[in-house]
């Protein structure tokens, strides 16, 4: 497929993107090669899921300590608790939707929003893209909202790109899926959480991180909301430099997620966790 018919692959030729792709692959390979992974990969996957959910919730305004997230069982009382609960549910649900993603990504996104909203949702706005005039509650992103018609058209285009596959590196595809969903904010709520878990699904499905042990959400949170939004504005700009900066930011997030899981491996190896 030529770059003209594969716009995601064309992004791979932007300055610095190839270096980010290579750096991410090396970071992922290092943690997969850790000796603990040969015996206890399930534990690493579970811990990465918990830490990823906590970090994604933090970016959406619920910055709880890891041990608080680990301890709590009630996530329905107030706004921050609902956000943390939504992030945890989404991370758990992601693994159930992998086989559907490449055939029907829009169905997966609708399911993700339904899961995020949970039993506290009211009305018929759950699990579908917003209609004209419907408000959006997104605590982190304050950019102008695309119209409902634009949302529908761009979601369809994103879906076709995912279904058609292509030769783009996993990092590029994951960054575009994340950025596009955050830019569109297609749902009435929880768009940031959905965008970040969709990035996770791409990384798993692509084979880059099949055991889901490199939580990019951790890296996004570690770099900070200010850096996240600055990089995201590069994506929204649509310029080559802006797109490359967003892809590099997402690549660094994956590397930091891999570093987090490496630390978990080291702790398990020492018998400290």
* pLDDT of 211 strictly over 50: yes
**What integer pLDDT is reported at residue 146 of this predicted model?**
97
| Stretch among 2-6, 115-119, 180-184 having the lowest mean pLDDT | 2-6
> Distance between CA 201 and CA 126 in Å, rounded?
21
Widest Cα–Cα separation across the chain: 55
* pLDDT of 125 strictly over 90: no
pTM: 0.94
How many other C-beta atoms are found inside a 10 Å radius of the C-beta of residue 234? 21
Task: Show Cβ contacts of residue 268 under 8 Å, excluding neighbours closer than 6 positions.
Answer: 36, 40, 43, 44
> Distance between CA 231 and CA 227 in Å, rounded?
6
pLDDT in tens, 149-168: 999 999 999 999 999 988 99
* pLDDT of 20 strictly over 90: yes
pLDDT in tens, 28-45: 999 999 999 999 999 999
Alpha-carbon distances, residue 190 vs 59, 117, 127, 154, 258 (angstroms): 11, 7, 11, 19, 25
Bridge partners of 83, per DSSP, are none
Which DSSP helix (H) or strand (E) runs through 42? helix 37-59
**What integer pLDDT is reported at residue 161 of this predicted model?**
94
* pLDDT of 178 strictly over 70: yes
**What integer pLDDT is reported at residue 1 of this predicted model?**
33
**What integer pLDDT is reported at residue 77 of this predicted model?**
72
Q: What are phi and psi of 137, to 5 degrees?
A: -105, 100
pLDDT in tens, 183-210: 999 999 999 999 999 999 999 999 999 9
**What integer pLDDT is reported at residue 119 of this predicted model?**
63
């Amino acid at each position: 497929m030529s770059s003209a018919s594969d716009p995601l692959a064309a992004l791979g030729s932007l300055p610095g993107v190839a270096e980010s792709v290579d750096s991410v692959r090396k970071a992922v390979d290092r943690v997969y090669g850790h000796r603990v992974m040969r015996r206890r990969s399930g534990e690493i996957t579970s811990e990465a899921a918990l830490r990823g959910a906590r970090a994604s919730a933090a970016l959406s305004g619920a910055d709880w300590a890891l041990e608080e997230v680990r301890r709590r069982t009630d996530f329905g009382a107030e706004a921050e608790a609902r956000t943390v609960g939504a992030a945890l549910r989404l991370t758990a649900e992601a693994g159930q939707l992998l086989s559907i993603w490449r055939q029907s990504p829009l169905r997966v996104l609708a399911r993700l929003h339904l899961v995020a909203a949970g039993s506290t949702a009211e009305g018929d706005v759950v699990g579908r893209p917003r209609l004209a005039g419907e408000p959006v509650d997104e605590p982190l992103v304050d950019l102008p909202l695309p119209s409902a018609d634009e949302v529908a058209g761009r979601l369809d285009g994103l879906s076709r790109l995912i279904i058609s596959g292509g030769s783009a590196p996993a990092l590029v595809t994951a960054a575009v899926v994340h950025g596009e969903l955050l830019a569109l904010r297609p749902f009435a709520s929880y768009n940031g959480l959905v965008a970040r878990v969709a990035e996770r699904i791409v990384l798993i499905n692509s084979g880059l991180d099949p055991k889901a042990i490199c939580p990019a959400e951790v890296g996004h949170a570690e770099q900070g909301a200010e850096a996240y939004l600055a990089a995201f504005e590069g994506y929204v700009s649509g310029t080559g430099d802006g797109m490359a900066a967003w892809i590099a930011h997402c690549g660094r997030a994956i590397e930091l997620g891999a570093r987090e899981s490496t630390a978990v491996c080291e702790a398990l190896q020492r018998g400290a966790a």
